[in-house]
């Protein structure tokens, strides 16, 4: 798997690097920790968590330091879930978990890449972190890190912001190797 990641970030997209978006995990009820997942804690992935529509940590969410950002997903009974395509040319209104959040994040990354096709895999990580916002997300572990940014093991740097990512991507200068 590591070889595949390295190949992807060095050769994918004509050398700009593949963008690997990974769900942070749905084992929170069992006290799983996504730091123990070799894919989500990889430096080559964007680890994405979930928030309920009310800005809470979902019951299934795995908190860990590898989480970079969050998108909305399902939560408690009575809260809305993600609507998406399903089998047999149908749609479902009950897609849930970080398994619903990661595809939303991938779509947001695709919008940023459409705005600037020269973005590298590292640029995308920087843009996600720079534009994510804590918004109305509620978790007991929000703290200010060494560069003055709010960060949480439950939500990373906060909600991904598609409009901000596209705006920043348009004029982004590639980060040095």
d(CA 5, CA 115): 24
d(CA 25, CA 8): 22
CA distances from 154 to 29, 97, 137 (A): 13, 13, 10
Residue 78's pLDDT is: 81
d(CA 77, CA 89): 27
Q: Tell me the domain boundaries of the chain.
A: 1-10+17-161
Provide the CB-side half-sphere exposure for 55 (13 A, CA): 11
Tens digits of per-residue pLDDT, 104-147? 999 999 999 999 999 999 999 999 999 999 989 999 999 999 99
Residue 51's pLDDT is: 96
Whether pTM > 0.85 for this model: the answer is yes
Return the residue matching tokens 């992935």: 45
CA distances from 42 to 49, 66, 83, 84 (A): 15, 8, 29, 28
121, with CB counted inside 10 A (0-12, 13-18, 19+), is buried
| Higher pLDDT among residues 96 and 77, named by residue | 96
CB crowding 67-100: b at 16 or more within 10 Å, else e: bbbbbbbbbeeeeebbeeeeeeeeeeeebbbbeb
Return the residue matching tokens 């995308």: 124
CATH superfamily of 1-10+17-161: Peptidase S8/S53 domain (3.40.50.200)
Tens digits of per-residue pLDDT, 12-48? 999 999 999 999 999 999 988 988 888 889 999 999 9
């Amino acid at each position: 798997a590591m070889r595949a990641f390295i190949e992807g970030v060095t050769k994918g997209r004509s050398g700009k690097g593949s963008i690997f978006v990974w769900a942070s995990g749905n084992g929170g009820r069992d006290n799983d920790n996504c730091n123990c997942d070799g894919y989500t804690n990889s430096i080559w992935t964007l680890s994405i968590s979930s928030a309920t529509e009310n800005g809470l940590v979902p019951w299934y969410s795995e908190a860990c330091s590898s989480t970079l950002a969050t998108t909305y997903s399902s939560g408690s009974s009575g809260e809305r879930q993600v609507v998406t395509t399903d089998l047999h040319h149908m749609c479902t209104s009950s897609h849930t978990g970080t398994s619903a959040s990661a595809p939303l994040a991938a779509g947001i990354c695709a919008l940023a890449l459409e705005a600037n096709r020269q973005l590298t895999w590292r640029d995308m990580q920087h843009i996600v972190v720079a534009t994510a916002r804590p918004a109305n997300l509620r978790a007991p572990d929000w703290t200010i890190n060494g560069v003055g940014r709010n960060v949480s093991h439950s939500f990373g740097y906060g909600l991904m912001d598609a409009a901000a990512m596209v705006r920043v991507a348009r004029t982004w200068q590639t980060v040095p190797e």
